[in-house]
Structure formats: C-alpha cells, structure tokens
C-alpha cells in the first residue's frame, strides 16, 4: 500500500439495466490500478435488434488494461452473469474463477466455441478464498434461483466490500446450503466500507418466499390433474426442476425432459453431485406410449421463446411430444419484462388446442430468486455497510434502492450507472471518471458495436421497408433502360394500386433525370439526389411512409 493508492468501483454492465452484468474493482494509484472483474454476462435481443440473439457489455475500457486484469470471478451461473465469457474472454485473457456447478456450465460454453483448452478456469469450493494481488476475495454462500450463488466479500488495504451478486433469503432451500448468515454478520463486524447489492425486487414488499412452499403446492396441484401435464420453468433453476420431479413422482407420473437446456442443466448438476436421488427420465420417444395420467413433460420455453420446446409443442411441430384438449401446461416461472407479447402468443396457441394454462397468478407455483424489501432490510442489518451502492437494476430500481438504504440509516447511498467510476477510498465517495460503456451485439459470428451503421439500417428496414431504384445511363446522361424498382418489406398485396405504385416510382425517377441539365445529368451525385427527391413523392402519397431508399446509378460506355 502506498499513499497514492485508491479503491474504485466501475460497472460496465448491469447498472441502469437488468442483465449484462460486468463489475470492475480497481486498486492502486490513479491510472495504474490493478483490476478484478465480477461476472461477465449477456442479455438477449428482441424486436428492437433484428437479427441479434445476444447482447453484451463492451469491455473496451478493461481490454485496453488487460495486463492489469487479475481475474474474473463469477458469482453464479445465470446467463446474465456468465454468458459473455465465451465471446469476450479472448479480448481479456485472464484467469476465470467459479464454484463447481458454475464452472461446469462455463466449461460447456467454452467447448462450444473451441476455447476449453485455452481458458484457465479455476474451480473454487464453496466458501473458498481467492487471492488476486491486493484483493482477497471470499465466496459467501447465498440462496438464489440457481445452484451455488455467492456473494464476494472483498478485503483490501483500504477497506472491505461486499458484492452480493443475485440472492434472496430462503429459509428452506431444497438444494444447496442456506444463506451463510454467520459469515455475513462476521464480515459486517469487521467493518464494511460499501455493499454493492441486488436491486431487482426493491419495489416488492415483504419476502420472496421459499422453494419448499412451491414444491408442496406443485404436489397438490398436479394431484388434481387427470391428463397429460407439462411444466415449463427456467432450466437453470435446478431446485425448481427437482420440485417438479418430486411432484410428478408423488403423483405417480414419469418425467420426460424436453428441450436442450433441460438436458444440459440437469447433466451439469448431476456431474457435480446434485440431483443424485431422482428417478431416471423417460425419453421423448417412449413418453407417448404412457397413459396420459402417468407422464409429465418438463419443458423449456417459459418466456415464449419461439425456438424453445413448448412453442414447438404449441405449434404441433414437435417431432415427439404433443398436447391436446384436456391437457394442462403449468408456467412455473415469472414473466421477464419485455417477454409479455411472446408469452401471451404462446399461451393463446396452447388455448386454441383446448389446453388448460396455469400460472403464478392462478396458483403458488413460483417464487422469485431476488430479495424483496424485507430481505434487503435484513441484509443491511447483517452487513451494516457505511455506503450502499445499488446494482443489478434499471435506473428506477437503483434510485429506489438508494432511498431504501437511506431509510435504513445507511450513512451514504450512491447510484453509479454503467460507466461511472466511483472512488470508494480514501476520502469521501465520489465520481472520479466516466468511461465508455457501450454494448456489443453478436451478429451471427461477428461481434459488432451497437452503433454499427449496418444495424441501424437493419432496424429501419424492419420498420419501414426498403426501396431500391436503379438507373442505367450512358456517359452523356441519356437513359438507356427503364428505371428498375425493387421493393422489400412493402405490402404490395394490400396496396390497391400495387402495379401502378411501382410504375409511378419508375416514372418519377425517369422524369427527374429528364429535367436535369446536360451538365448535371453527367454528375452521378446530382442524378442520385434528384431521383431520391422525386421518388419520395409517390411513395409518400401512396404508402404514407419513408422507407430506406437506395438509388443506384450505373453508367455504360
């Protein structure tokens, strides 16, 4: 430790949004920090990002300083915390640390992209310590909606930090240990400079509830159902999967896993010692031969994903699984904001087949994996931080969390959106820098920045369509062919004058060229601009929109 050392926090993802978590902790003289990273996650594309499946934080800031990046510590195995590791590790090149189950999930992802033998992936036992330069990191066992969630108790010469990751307080977890209250209390007694804490459910009063209660409710509910039953849930919630399996067995039903993620997650859990006492699963090809009241399908697709198993079942397109009138689908999950339309469409397709739909608003079939207000209050009582820094939430969550912390008599609360560098010590907490914190899109096999012009064009085409007008002229500027018009995303079948529409665009283009002077008609830029202005008129008059417009000028000898 030198007199110029400082301790800083810098989020590049997950602060001001839910998902894409990337948190950096730096120690050392300003401009010469040593860094550790907590989590490296993704979020998923939607209708606003056509053609994009995965979105991740831009690590450019730390990539430029990768020689000073000591390691990535993963708090748990959800996609918004580990999903970007296979895509971004090559830019960072540092060791990765994770508990056994999380490491197993990461290992499978690395194998898919050919990096398994390149990434130094270190397995840390639950409750273990990681020494990285000036950072001493202790993993603190928590409960969440996935196996092996951990808080990071970070000790430095300038003060202690607690980074909670995602958590809740479940007094009766069905798989894994309880929240390590004793460790958290002892860490609080040491003195905690700042706690960086999950904000997802800050608007929800009370507590999130226990998985044990959901299990019993599933047992009771399934006992009332007579025909085929399908349950859809987050595949990563191994405790929920075990609850469904237990409920099926209690009601004399065999379980069939449907969907790649179900097989991948249960396989990873078994490999590291979980799910050891469950019966064998029934293969899809065999399940159809069982009586309707003896089978339960455990499916992916709870968020209305069009390529997931339940969607294909609802469409009647699954090769092995079918549901029909009198069967039941239980949505043992919450609706992630932004997925409402997809889930509604999926449920309507199921309803059209006469399938009964049961969700969390009908029965107690789901509990959240994030802390509600009473649990947040409890955590603050255990840890007693001097400073609250809300993370993992949209801006409204962060601000409300800060207000809650202040109401709990936490001396200070600071909201630090992505790109905000906070100096935590020495001296008062303050913003010392703002850095770029953009997004990267996985476009096929390419990682491109969110501001890439091609993506803007794609969005415009998806909303407004695309019109291409091609003009062929000789060197003097005389038209030697009719203007060619190509339309993409234009609803010609519903335009009353669809044939005339194309002719009007072509005529407007040709007349624009005819009006140009002998000098200007030889200038491609002048021709292009004249045609562009002219064809906008019939497009606006007939269609009423402003599509992406490309004018191509071809000159012949």
Q: Each residue of 362-375: pLDDT tens digit?
A: 999 999 999 999 99
Say yes or no: 88 and 196 in one domain.
yes
Lowest mean pLDDT, pick from 291-300, 405-414, 496-505, 540-549: 496-505
* Listed residues 394, 424, 449: the one ending a domain: 449
Q: Each residue of 310-354: pLDDT tens digit?
A: 999 999 999 999 999 999 999 999 888 778 889 999 999 999 999
503-525: burial string, b at 16+ Cβ within 10 Å, e else: ebbbbbbbebbeebeeeebbebe
Determine the average pLDDT of the residues in 115-125: 97
The answer, yes or no, to whether residue 379 has pLDDT greater than 60, is: yes
* Listed residues 314, 334, 358: the one ending a domain: 358
Q: Which pLDDT does position 496 carry in this prediction?
A: 57
pTM of the model: 0.88
- The total of other beta-carbon atoms located within 10 Å of residue 339's CB is 17
- Across the chain, mean pLDDT equals 94
H-state helical runs in 96-156: 100-112
The answer, yes or no, to whether residue 204 has pLDDT greater than 90, is: yes
* Closest C-alpha among 329, 309, 326 to residue 318: 309
* DSSP output for 420-454: EEEEEESSS-EEEEE----EEEEETTEEEETT-HH
**Would residue 454 count as lying in a domain?**
no
Handedness of CA 511, 512, 515, 521 (dihedral sign): negative
Q: Where are the beta strands (DSSP E) in 238-279?
A: 254-258
Q: Whose structure tokens read 């179900």?
A: 262
Q: Which pLDDT does position 113 carry in this prediction?
A: 94
The domain in which residue 169 lies consists of 5-206+368-449
pLDDT > 70 fraction of the chain, expressed in percent and rounded: 98
Q: How many domains are there within the chain? A: 3
Determine the average pLDDT of the residues in 508-515: 93
Q: Each residue of 31-84: pLDDT tens digit?
A: 999 999 999 999 887 777 777 888 999 999 999 999 999 999 999 999 999 999
Q: Each residue of 393-443: pLDDT tens digit?
A: 999 999 999 999 999 999 999 999 999 999 999 999 999 999 989 999 888
Say yes or no: 238 and 352 in one domain.
yes
Sheet holding 356-358, edge to edge: 254-258, 295-299, 229-232, 328-331, 356-358
Collapsed DSSP state (helix, strand, coil) of residue 524: helix
The answer, yes or no, to whether residue 305 has pLDDT greater than 60, is: yes
Using alpha carbons, list the distances in angstroms from residue 329 to 123, 385, 430: 38, 45, 51
**96-98 and 43-44 as β-strands: parallel, antiparallel, unpaired?**
unpaired
Q: Using CA atoms, how far apart are residues 554 and 237, in angstroms rounded to an integer?
A: 59
Lowest mean pLDDT, pick from 47-51, 298-302, 542-546: 47-51
Say yes or no: 288 and 405 in one domain.
no
CATH number, residue 414: 3.60.15.10
**Would residue 363 count as lying in a domain?**
no
Say yes or no: 314 and 375 in one domain.
no
**Would residue 19 count as lying in a domain?**
yes
Q: Which pLDDT does position 495 carry in this prediction?
A: 61
Asked whether the beta carbons of 35 and 63 are under 8 A apart, the reply is no
Q: Which pLDDT does position 307 carry in this prediction?
A: 87
Q: Using CA atoms, how far apart are residues 146 and 168, in angstroms rounded to an integer?
A: 11
CATH number, residue 322: 3.40.50.10710
230: enclosing H helix or E strand: strand 229-232
Determine the average pLDDT of the residues in 182-210: 97
**Would residue 513 count as lying in a domain?**
yes
Q: Each residue of 461-505: pLDDT tens digit?
A: 888 889 999 999 998 888 998 999 998 888 766 565 566 888 899
* Closest C-alpha among 175, 178, 138, 167 to residue 155: 138
């Amino acid at each position: 430790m030198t007199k110029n050392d400082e301790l800083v926090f810098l989020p590049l993802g997950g602060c001001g949004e839910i998902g894409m978590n990337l948190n950096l902790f730096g120690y050392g003289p300003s401009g010469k920090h040593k860094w550790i990273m907590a989590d490296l996650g993704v979020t998923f594309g939607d209708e606003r990002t056509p053609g994009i499946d995965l979105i991740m934080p831009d690590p450019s800031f730390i990539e430029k300083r990768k020689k000073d990046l000591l390691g990535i510590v993963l708090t748990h195995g959800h996609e918004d915390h580990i999903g970007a590791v296979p895509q971004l590790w090559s830019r960072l090149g540092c060791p990765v640390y994770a508990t056994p189950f999380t490491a197993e999930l990461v290992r499978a992802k690395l194998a898919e992209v050919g990096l398994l033998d390149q990434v130094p992936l270190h397995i840390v036992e639950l409750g273990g310590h990681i020494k990285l330069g000036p950072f001493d990191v202790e993993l603190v066992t928590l409960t969440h909606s996935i196996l092996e969630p951990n808080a990071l108790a970070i000790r430095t010469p300038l003060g202690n930090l607690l980074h909670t990751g995602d958590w809740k307080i479940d007094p009766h977890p069905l798989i894994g240990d309880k929240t390590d209250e004793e460790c958290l209390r002892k860490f609080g007694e040491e003195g905690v400079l700042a706690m960086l804490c999950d904000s997802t459910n800050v608007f929800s009063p009370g507590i999130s509830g226990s998985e044990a209660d959901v299990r019993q409710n599933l047992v009771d509910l399934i006992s009332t159902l007579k025909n085929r039953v399908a349950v859809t849930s987050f595949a990563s919630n191994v405790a929920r999967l075990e609850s469904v399996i237990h409920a099926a067995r209690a009601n004399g039903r065999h379980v069939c896993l449907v969907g790649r993620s179900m097989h991948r997650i249960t396989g990873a859990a078994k490999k590291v010692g979980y799910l050891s006492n469950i019966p064998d699963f029934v293969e899809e090809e065999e399940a159809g031969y069982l009586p309707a009241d003896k089978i339960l399908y455990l499916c992916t697709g709870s968020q209305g994903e069009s390529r997931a198993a339940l969607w294909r079942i609802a469409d009647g397109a699954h090769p092995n699984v079918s549901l029909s009138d009198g069967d039941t689908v239980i949505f043992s999950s919450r609706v992630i904001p932004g997925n409402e339309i997809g889930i509604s469409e999926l449920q309507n397709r199921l309803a059209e087949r006469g399938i009964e739909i049961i969700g969390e608003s009908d029965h107690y079939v789901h509990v959240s994996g994030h802390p509600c207000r009473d649990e947040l209050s409890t955590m603050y009582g255990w840890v007693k931080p001097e400073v609250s820094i809300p993370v993992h939430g949209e801006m409204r969550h962060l601000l409300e969390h800060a207000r809650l912390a202040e109401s709990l008599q936490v001396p200070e609360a600071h909201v630090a959106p992505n790109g905000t560098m906070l100096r935590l010590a020495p001296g008062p907490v303050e913003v010392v820098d703002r850095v770029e914190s953009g997004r990267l899109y996985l476009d096929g096999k390419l990682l491109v920045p969110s501001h890439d012009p091609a993506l803007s064009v794609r969005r415009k085409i998806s909303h407004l369509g695309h019109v291409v007008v091609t003009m062929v002229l000789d060197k003097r500027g005389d038209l030697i062919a009719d203007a060619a018009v190509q339309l993409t995303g234009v609803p010609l079948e519903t335009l009353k004058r669809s044939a005339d529409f194309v002719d009007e665009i072509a005529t407007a283009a040709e007349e624009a060229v005819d009006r140009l002077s002998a000098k200007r008609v030889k200038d491609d830029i002048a021709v292009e601009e004249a045609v562009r202005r002219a064809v906008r008129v019939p497009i606006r008059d007939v269609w009423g929109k402003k599509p992406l417009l490309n004018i191509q000028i071809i000159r012949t000898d």
